[in-house]
Amino acid sequence: MAKNRQHHHGGKRQSQQRFAPRQAPEPTPAYVPKPVVQYGEPFMLLEDAQKNTFEYSGGAWVPFDRNIADCKRVCLVKEMPQKVNKMTRYEVRCPIVDPE
């Protein structure tokens, strides 16, 4: 048979008068959509342990002028799951600049 709890201290309720009245939340700013960005064709980059980057050009991997951190600021960068000679592969798509 179940026993009754002997030391049951019911939740004492504090009076509602202690709390400050709620202020209305600030209105949220109007939504402004980002401009649509067109990206170019993807190209592959390799990054070695020393953070050097290489681009595949003319049948060979040649040094690339920017590192992956710089590319991530401007371009779309996707890390590929395969490694090549212990180097990380990335697919990079840079934005197309309109000549307007």
| pLDDT, tens only, 16-65 | 556 667 788 888 889 999 888 899 999 999 999 999 999 988 889 899 99
- Considering the chain, what percentage of its residues have pLDDT values greater than 70? 80
pLDDT band, residue 91 (cuts 50/70/90): very high
Q: Three-class SS string for 46-89?
A: EECCCCCEEEEECCEEEECCCCHHHHHHHCEEEEEEEEECCEEE
Question: 1-26: b or e for each residue (b if 16 or more CB lie within 10 Å)?
Answer: eeeeeeeeeeeeeeeeeeeeeeeeee
pTM above 0.75, yes or no: no
